[in-house]
Structure 1
């Protein structure tokens, strides 16, 4: 079973688009075009690229948590949702739906968000951002047979960029990352755990298929949208 829980959350073509976006970011940062936009997040361009690269590679890996009751009815398919194509992994002899945590879409964003909250002491504003975005995403989250819970890919990006800027110009960039990633995880995946077992999904990955693309793009676009309009690099609390 261990070998079957690891798979790309998107089709190779769509995943390649994310890789191309990442490569373009590398080029722009090397040309210093986006250098200061990422510095507004509170980390250097190299560290920002490392986080995004880790998210891309980590999207392939899932950490199994438990097995939910029920029998998977879909396997080895490709499911379309809002223009995105998600992969239903090929599995055999699964006793039910495996609930897992995606490394690139859940573990890394959680660690990064925790670091940003501690660095800038954004406890209250971060909590507001996460709660509001979680509510918005939860209203749009859609159970998709064979995949799990999915959200329109650009909704987290637009909502987080606007809300982060309204909460704080100075700390808009870190708030965008925290609110976008954690709000999506909570609103789409965690608040819909009770619906997963009935979707016939062989593997339900928190931060994986259905939400990974939105979380990854939030890490790129929302931070840039918020960072470009914010003042120079925010002051760390420590």
Structure 2
């Protein structure tokens, strides 16, 4: 009796699968390049050279692993289910309730963006010879702070969760509107977008919710970190890039 061997994959199907694998591999390699390009372009628009932009990125990445403890608070959080919690389209894995929470400042996610924002506010005064642009940027900070505070939600056992896209969009629209009042300053929209996106997220999502940290039971509240708090660095970068 003759045996018939059936190949379930035709040569055309094999070529298609190989091409699909190569495409996914290319996209995986392309995403970091696009990310670095966006960040570099953003800081170039803010007046930094590419060398300075790369240095800022390196310091930010290295600083993201450094948390400076500021204060430890007692927790009053009630026990929660040890299951992932869904919020704003994301699932958060809830750790065990900690009796205390260490409040810390993340160097790369909060401290460096704060320093850059303060520098841009100072530089805007030098560029324009007055406080008009700095004042508009602070108005943008107030707008983003208010919006971010409204949408920020506590996640028991983890911290404060904020929709990723809302602070950058709030900063972008604020910058586009307020820059029209800047008297023709070329970099007004970018400066307002970065400063309002960074400081607005820092204040609205983080600082104004510090009093609630003791209710959440998180072991650490890292301001600007990728755990309890996040998005300060990227909110400013994305808003400034889009502006």
Instruction: Calculate the TM-score normalised by the size of structure 2.
Output: 0.71
Question: Per chain length, whose mean CA-contact separation is higher, i.e. which structure has more relative contact order (CA < 8 Å, sep 6+)?
Answer: 1
Question: Residue 168 of structure 1 is aligned with which of 179, 199, 205?
Answer: 179
Provide the rounded CA distance (Å) in 1 between the counterparts of 2:236 and 2:30: 15
Q: Does 2:107 align with 1:96?
A: no
Displacement after TM superposition at 1:176 (Å):
1.0
Task: List per-residue Cα deviations over 1:64-111 (Å, max 9, x = no partner).
Answer: 11111126768x9865532445566789xx651111111122101111
Q: How does 1:139-178 map to 2 (within 5 A)?
A: 139-168=150-179, 170=186, 171-178=188-195
Question: Residue 64 of structure 2 is aligned with which of 59, 62, 84?
Answer: 59
Provide the rounded CA distance (Å) in 2 between the counterparts of 1:162 and 1:70: 38
Q: Tell me the number of residue pairs that the alignment of Structure 1 and Structure 2 aligns.
A: 201
Q: Does the 8 Å CA contact 1:101/1:107 hold for their aligned counterparts?
A: yes
Match of 1:206 in 2: 223
Q: Does the 8 Å CA contact 1:42/1:174 hold for their aligned counterparts?
A: no
Q: Does the 8 Å CA contact 2:76/2:216 hold for their aligned counterparts?
A: no
Structure 2: which 5+ runs fail to align?
Answer: 1-26, 126-132, 181-185
Cα RMSD for the two superposed structures: 3.1
Displacement after TM superposition at 1:115 (Å):
0.7
Provide the rounded CA distance (Å) in 1 between the counterparts of 2:138 and 2:66: 28
Report the secondary structure of 2:215's partner residue. coil
Q: Does the 8 Å CA contact 1:153/1:211 hold for their aligned counterparts?
A: no
Q: Does the 8 Å CA contact 2:159/2:216 hold for their aligned counterparts?
A: yes
Displacement after TM superposition at 1:141 (Å):
0.6
Provide the rounded CA distance (Å) in 2 between the counterparts of 1:183 and 1:143: 18
Match of 1:24 in 2: 34
Task: List per-residue Cα deviations over 1:33-87 (Å, max 9, x = no partner).
Answer: x75x64321212332233234333322221111111126768x986553244556
Q: Does 2:125 align with 1:108?
A: no
Instruction: Calculate the TM-score normalised by the size of structure 1.
Output: 0.72
Report the secondary structure of 1:197's partner residue. helix
Provide the rounded CA distance (Å) in 1 between the counterparts of 2:224 and 2:95: 16
Provide the rounded CA distance (Å) in 1 between the counterparts of 2:214 and 2:124: 39
Match of 1:219 in 2: 236
Q: Compare the two structures and name the one with the higher helix fraction.
A: 2
Q: Does the 8 Å CA contact 1:106/1:207 hold for their aligned counterparts?
A: yes
Q: Does the 8 Å CA contact 1:61/1:103 hold for their aligned counterparts?
A: yes
Match of 1:8 in 2: none
Structure whose alpha-carbon radius of gyration is higher: 2
Q: Does the 8 Å CA contact 1:52/1:219 hold for their aligned counterparts?
A: no
Structure 1: which 5+ runs fail to align?
Answer: 1-16, 227-238
